[in-house]
Structure 1
Amino acid sequence: MGDKANAHPGAAGRAAAADHPASVRNVVLVGHSGAGKTTLVEALALTAGAVNRAGRVEDGGTVSDYDEIEHRQQRSVQLSLVPVEWDGYKVNLLDTPGYADFVGELRAGLRAADAALFVVSAADGVDGSTRMVWEECAAVGMPRAIVVTHLEAARADFEEMTRVCAAAFGGDDPDAVLPLYLPLHGAPGPDGHAPVTGLVGLLTQRLFDYSSGERVESVPGPDRLPLIEEARNRLIEGIIAESEDESLMDRYLGGEDIDVKTLVQDLERAVAHGVFFPVLAAAPAPENARQGLGTVELLELVTGGFPTPLEREAPAVTAPDGTPRSVRACDPDGPLVAEVVKTASDPYVGRVSLVRVFSGTLRPDETVHVAGHGPAERGGGRSALHRADERVGALSAPFGKAQRTLTHCIAGDLACVAKLHRAETGDTLSAKDDPLLMEPWEMPDPLLPLAIRAHSKADEDKLSQGLARLVAEDPTMRLEQNQDTHQVVLWCLGEAHADVALERLRSRYGVQVDVVPHKVSLRETFAARAAGRGRHVKQSGGHGQYAICEIEVEPLPGGSGIEFVDKVVGGAVPRQFIPSVEKGVRAQAARGVAAGYPLIDVRVTLLDGKAHSVDSSDAAFQTAGALALREAAAGARIHLLEPVAEVSVLVGDDYVGAVMSDLSGRRGRVVGTEQAGGGRTLVRAEVPEIEIGRYAVDLRSLSHGTARFSRRYARHEPMPPQLGEKIRRQVEEGA
């Protein structure tokens, strides 16, 4: 690293189809919102010659021309692919949103990539959510490097940020997180801040000056070498500690000067194996400059140190019936196995799928088999498998809003595929005569409900199709048609996620919706035994109606449902009409007897009644049964039952007290805590669902984005009388 001082492919920076997996690098950029990921991608594209000094591509537009919503909100909301070429390698840069609401886009980027660049702002440091993503990458052994940005900020200190990163990411081995370069500072400005104008390579002991707008290499004077000696020795020791050559440490400790080429090779192997995590600095190119500070060094690390797709194990593959299948990883000549990692809609092209090919070669105009599971239904589990054969449209490499046509996409590479109308995010593409299915990646469960209704009749006609497309594009969004509350509910990850969903419904699909208060599924039950008499008698000429029944209602334990018992003696109610009474009782129970919520957990006993030989009928006894239940309820105390959820919160130990206090304030009962490792605690509680509608948002604020929670329906319980009375009044007032 550091030997290609002025490598610049110029027009060759336009990424084309890769010819071999070894020449591909798939890199995802990770970091909190505002850390500078997109700016860094633009700087790398400029250095690679993929954009001009104005940041524009030949086709018009800029590298950051992704989504009009992103421009309006001034933040990334979706995964974006920017392919560039450097020194004969195709580098697929996957820019992910940093905001927690769009973690689904981040997970898709992690799935498509083979290595990760963690972008850390020198002005803001490392936040809790970035630490959590680091742990996810560590769990699967993904190689990582760290890029420090915003060095121009007041009081920015690269050395201090390196120590912060070592503490946050190093775990038990902070010497595995070390800088490869140290910044060179120019003359201090009026504010006393000395800008970073270049870098010094710790291994090569070369200076790389960017002050002219292009990288210029030189040999440092003797006065500079002592300044880097301590950092250089520590880096060498860190590299040797991870070396596969066990004799290297003994030679080094014995005073041998280890060859720089050997150190670089060991460094690259350690990075590729995910056991050493170099820290670099980077900054965007100033106006009229051709290269941003640190971008050449970063591209050299990516192409020299990050693994090829050949070194990654493919996710598990099965036949659609679940039979395990063995597929050789990253073989361009093998059976086709590709995955849709993102789905988007283009106003001119239609549906566009970003696809990672894990085996085989994908070509335009061929027919492929599409298979996958849609978003899980609420309550857990996977939805039914959907399958279809589709013809692949044009393949392209995206660059902002421009699309450059590709002739093929080999194993290990990524491409955009047009017009896969039935493909959803997470679906598998395979040969139509050899259908396969890849194990899906884990997605967070959306836990923020957004109840919506069509704004007008015209919107109502388009709403269903718009929602279906929205959910197909975004697997972190779940659609629920609640049969109890009769609401259409979009379950989202947070408020920003919900805002983007509404904006996409409006701008992409032309559907205007109104947001309404979300309702939970309440129930009713009798608090004590009660009796009722239903009399339905009408004699107004012609065929009349005659039915009388007497019932008794008593409460049952939770989960019992509705029981109907016949205790009529002497034929007071003819046998053929007893099912009619039960039908009427159950129909009225479904409609509710107090506030319009379904009645549950009661036993209704038919005791007596009267019938007429001519005027009694099935309909009359159904009506009488319903009237009897309503009369029993009118003279009884009715409990409103609310759903209670089992809530599990995984939170850092520092926030356990605050989380438990907050749950208690939501009428929750903490039922247990247990250590989860890594300085975290699992808090388990039972909380009324009406109290946790916005818990996804509130918990994020309470824990500074570091806590996660899950919820599961447990049972219905009586609501506090004052709250139940408030809801009854709202029902009576038509609220």
Structure 2
Amino acid sequence: MAERNQNNGRGVAADQPAQVRNVVLVGHSGAGKTTLAEALLAETGTIQRAGRVEDGSTVCDHDEVEIRQRRSVSLTLAPFEHTAGGRRIKVNLLDAPGYPDFVGDLRAGLRAADAALFVVSAVDGIDGLTRMLWEECSAVGMPRAVVITKIDQARGDFARTLGECQQAFGGGVVPLYLPDGTGLVGLLTERFYDYGSGRRVVGEPGPGAAEMLAQERAALIEGIIEESEDESLMDRYVSGEELDLDELIADLERAVARGGLHPVLATAVPHGDRQGAVVGIAELLEVITRGFPSPLEHPLPPVTTIEGKDVPALTCDPDGPLLAEVIKTVSDPYVGRISLVRVFSGTLRPDLTVHVSGHGLADRGHEDHDVDERIGALSAPLGKQQRSLAECRAGDVCAIAKLARAETGDTISAADGPLLMASWTMPDPLLPVAIRAVSKADEDKLGQSLNRLVAEDPTLRLENNAETRQLVLWCMGEAHADVLLDRLRSRYGVEVETVALRVPLRETFGGTAEGLGRHVKQSGGHGQYGICRITVEPLPPGAGFEFVDRIVGGVVPRQFIPSVEKGVRTQMTRGVSAGYPMVDLKVTLHDGKAHSVDSSDMAFQTAGALAVKDAAAKVPVLLLEPVDEVSVLVHDEHTGPVMSDLSGRRGRVLGTESVPGGRTLIRAEVPELEMTRYSIDLRSLSHGTGTFHRRFLRYEPLPSHLMEKVMETS
């Protein structure tokens, strides 16, 4: 291709980074990503037909329906090779999930790739997730192209979908080919690529394509000229000079590789009983292999030592220091743990001892760790096949067997020079799902199985809530939760059931009251004797607990006053009404009685607890609910419905502010009881484009009508 590969057309050994392309397929569910991946594998001879590898075995573990279901919720690797410009190019095609719930796998694919291929359906158009991911790629300067699928279907409209892409994605989105009947018209070559006979035939475009070709070709050439480093091109073009086609193509390739231009292509995959070539597949392969950059052209993520010290910038050098990252982890109960790894620098070899570092996700159950491990077999996975590799060099992607401690997002480096890569941004899981084991046998296996799921999925957070005594999975959404529960059952044989989530409430006094605690027992030998009188009064929200000693004359001996306080605190922890901890109280000890023989620390602890209960029986006990500070980011057209919804959740909208990109940030205070399913509802309200963050703010009294419901279920 162009000079940027620095090979001047000469062949390079197949194991060089210049001959690798790491491409992630991005798009909403149903856009046709997996079908397109299968078509690329079939076109390059990697599989005999869609869904089958060379020896006839299936691409994945089970039948085709299950293949597609699994691929739709998990990052998968489909490597293939293709000859372009006389060189053999290896393409690591990363098929990313198309559901918002699995954005963790999707972002892992973005991290491992050097370019992104956005797949958009000509039938369904663009969804919110695709827009958000385009913005993410734009922020880091990742090269991108767009392929519009299903152009042959009844409701497929290439022109409309192209317009949507140009409006949503902004400048630089230009078509390279236009559909015309049974094939495509090349805007630069001005040739017609006819697939009507079942194979690609090159010819002249029909007379009806002339006007369309002239208009779109001019826009494409102007876009190429704007990105070209040759300043004379514009003057030559304006003066009417016919520009050299090879020169234009070389400038186009450089512009695509730099992320300045985003070519749009079109495809149609034969379906049903139809046979023949996939329309646009050869053109797509040309863009992937000649336009997308090699790993040599993609800067490496920031790297430090494990102590946090800066490291000189590394490059994609097979002979450089070892630096790799785990982008996907799969724990199989029979095979063990398999780690999908992108090598950024150095070379991985079987039986090599490496250092595995994981940091920054301790709050989600991923403990920080720095361990040395021995690498098992290396392979290039394709479906259930693991094709053995002698090594994996910088720029490539491979699978490593049996790294016992490695988790998704971990850094792999040399044992004698440990390094740590900056982690990629991971969204917070905001849908809590409380679960419990169905049987004692399931309970025994649950802990280990959940640890394996956590190792695979950095978006999952595991919480064992001591206060509510519930095991809670914090998930990205309903589909994420369903997949996790299914994996527990099908992969690890653990049956669990979901239960109603308990929100940790608090109790407090609704007024001032006096309480008597009397613990007097005679049962032979030493008895138990402790009497105390206290006054309990509420404090302002957030004030905590205050204990005041007002004993005069030693009616309660000094050594037993702390015992009373301890008993009061113990009872406050247990609660007096619905079993929730008590907060914001002032307790004053002002009277009591003791016995010279039978009084003891335990007797006065019990008396203190009884005194709190006695006081609580004389005044209303209020339940307090946690209130969160919530920030919601939505596109402007969804602001009204989202604000109305927040108000309907007993929320107080504090204000809004405009955010670049036609979005609005809404700030509100909302009770936590109303937020348990908000991630699902916001996705519906905002058509999948809204995001939110929340943090605990304070406790407030629960409305009386809700208090009655809580009391009934406690």
TM-score bracket, normalised by the shorter chain, equals over 0.9
Structure 1 window deviating more from structure 2 (538-547 vs 209-218): it is 209-218
Contact 2:42 2:50 in 1 (8 A): no
In 2, the alpha carbon distance for the partners of 1:198 and 1:565 equals 87
- Match for residue 146 of structure 1? 146
C-alpha deviations, 1:491-510, integer Å up to 9, x for none?
Answer: 00100000000011111122
Q: Does 1:38 align with 2:34?
A: yes
Q: Does 1:364 align with 2:345?
A: no
SS in 1 for 2:47: coil
For 1:375, the aligned partner's letter is: L
Identity %: 67
Q: Which one of the candidate residues 372, 380, 387 is aligned to 2:370?
A: 387
- Match for residue 217 of structure 2? 232
- Match for residue 562 of structure 2? 579
C-alpha deviations, 1:327-354, integer Å up to 9, x for none?
Answer: 4221111110100011012344211111
- Match for residue 286 of structure 2? 300
User: 1:184 Cα deviation (Å)?
Assistant: 2.5
- Match for residue 471 of structure 2? 488
User: 1:285 Cα deviation (Å)?
Assistant: 4.4
C-alpha deviations, 1:681-720, integer Å up to 9, x for none?
Answer: 0000000000010000000001110110011011111111
SS in 2 for 1:49: coil
TM-score (norm 1): 0.92
For 1:620, the aligned partner's letter is: A
- Match for residue 319 of structure 1? 305
Return closer, same or farther for 1:74/1:315 CA change in 2, 3 Å cut-off: closer
Contact 1:30 1:98 in 2 (8 A): yes
Q: Does 1:334 align with 2:311?
A: no
| Superposition pairs of residues 255-654 of structure 1, within 5 angstroms | 255-285=240-270, 289=275, 291-373=277-359, 375-377=361-363, 385-654=368-637
For 2:506, the aligned partner's letter is: R
Return closer, same or farther for 1:314/1:362 CA change in 2, 3 Å cut-off: same
Contact 1:43 1:291 in 2 (8 A): no
- Match for residue 166 of structure 1? 166
Return closer, same or farther for 1:315/1:215 CA change in 2, 3 Å cut-off: same
For 1:90, the aligned partner's letter is: K
Q: Which one of the candidate residues 186, 189, 207 is aligned to 1:204?
A: 189
In 2, the alpha carbon distance for the partners of 1:231 and 1:633 equals 79
SS in 2 for 1:698: helix
- Match for residue 666 of structure 1? 649
Contact 2:375 2:402 in 1 (8 A): yes
Q: Which one of the candidate residues 79, 86, 89 is aligned to 1:83?
A: 79
Structure 1 window deviating more from structure 2 (342-351 vs 690-699): it is 342-351
For 1:139, the aligned partner's letter is: A
SS in 1 for 2:48: coil
For 1:510, the aligned partner's letter is: G
Return closer, same or farther for 1:104/1:372 CA change in 2, 3 Å cut-off: same
Structure 1 window deviating more from structure 2 (288-297 vs 699-708): it is 288-297
In 2, the alpha carbon distance for the partners of 1:65 and 1:217 equals 39
Contact 2:194 2:201 in 1 (8 A): yes
SS in 2 for 1:240: helix
Contact 1:53 1:290 in 2 (8 A): no
In 1, the alpha carbon distance for the partners of 2:50 and 2:229 equals 45
For 2:353, the aligned partner's letter is: T
C-alpha deviations, 1:537-586, integer Å up to 9, x for none?
Answer: 01132221111001111111222222222111111111111111111111
For 2:221, the aligned partner's letter is: I
Contact 1:60 1:402 in 2 (8 A): no
Number of aligned residues: 699
Unaligned runs of 5+ in 1: 3-16, 186-196
In 2, the alpha carbon distance for the partners of 1:451 and 1:67 equals 32
User: 1:201 Cα deviation (Å)?
Assistant: 1.3
Structure 1 window deviating more from structure 2 (123-132 vs 344-353): it is 344-353
- Match for residue 10 of structure 1? none
SS in 1 for 2:580: coil
In 2, the alpha carbon distance for the partners of 1:71 and 1:683 equals 41
For 2:539, the aligned partner's letter is: L
In 2, the alpha carbon distance for the partners of 1:224 and 1:120 equals 24
Q: Does 1:183 align with 2:168?
A: no
Q: Which one of the candidate residues 32, 52, 57 is aligned to 1:61?
A: 57
Return closer, same or farther for 1:284/1:346 CA change in 2, 3 Å cut-off: farther
For 1:331, the aligned partner's letter is: D
Q: Does 1:708 align with 2:691?
A: yes
In 1, the alpha carbon distance for the partners of 2:18 and 2:299 equals 14
- Match for residue 728 of structure 1? 711
In 2, the alpha carbon distance for the partners of 1:152 and 1:226 equals 22
SS in 1 for 2:685: helix
In 1, the alpha carbon distance for the partners of 2:378 and 2:67 equals 26
Q: Does 1:251 align with 2:242?
A: no
In 1, the alpha carbon distance for the partners of 2:458 and 2:644 equals 33
Contact 2:515 2:612 in 1 (8 A): yes
For 2:176, the aligned partner's letter is: L
- Match for residue 104 of structure 1? 104
In 2, the alpha carbon distance for the partners of 1:615 and 1:307 equals 85
User: 1:152 Cα deviation (Å)?
Assistant: 2.0
Contact 2:34 2:71 in 1 (8 A): no
Contact 2:151 2:268 in 1 (8 A): yes
In 1, the alpha carbon distance for the partners of 2:502 and 2:530 equals 37
Q: Does 1:21 align with 2:4?
A: no
C-alpha deviations, 1:444-475, integer Å up to 9, x for none?
Answer: 10000000111110011111111111111000
C-alpha deviations, 1:617-641, integer Å up to 9, x for none?
Answer: 1111111010001001111111101
User: 1:70 Cα deviation (Å)?
Assistant: 4.7
For 1:362, the aligned partner's letter is: L
In 1, the alpha carbon distance for the partners of 2:618 and 2:42 equals 79
For 1:108, the aligned partner's letter is: A
Return closer, same or farther for 1:72/1:578 CA change in 2, 3 Å cut-off: farther
For 1:20, the aligned partner's letter is: Q
SS in 2 for 1:537: strand
SS in 2 for 1:40: helix
User: 1:82 Cα deviation (Å)?
Assistant: 0.2
Contact 2:460 2:474 in 1 (8 A): yes
For 1:255, the aligned partner's letter is: G
Return closer, same or farther for 1:75/1:319 CA change in 2, 3 Å cut-off: closer
In 2, the alpha carbon distance for the partners of 1:524 and 1:215 equals 75
For 1:260, the aligned partner's letter is: L
For 1:19, the aligned partner's letter is: D
Structure 1 window deviating more from structure 2 (298-307 vs 159-168): it is 159-168
In 1, the alpha carbon distance for the partners of 2:601 and 2:521 equals 14
C-alpha deviations, 1:91-113, integer Å up to 9, x for none?
Answer: 01110111111111111110000
Alpha-carbon RMSD:
1.9
SS in 2 for 1:318: strand
User: 1:375 Cα deviation (Å)?
Assistant: 3.2
Return closer, same or farther for 1:67/1:510 CA change in 2, 3 Å cut-off: farther
In 1, the alpha carbon distance for the partners of 2:571 and 2:51 equals 68
- Match for residue 193 of structure 1? none
- Match for residue 44 of structure 2? 48
Return closer, same or farther for 1:390/1:106 CA change in 2, 3 Å cut-off: same
C-alpha deviations, 1:492-540, integer Å up to 9, x for none?
Answer: 0100000000011111122111100011110001121111000000113
Return closer, same or farther for 1:686/1:68 CA change in 2, 3 Å cut-off: farther
For 2:324, the aligned partner's letter is: A
In 1, the alpha carbon distance for the partners of 2:310 and 2:685 equals 44
TM-score (norm 2): 0.95
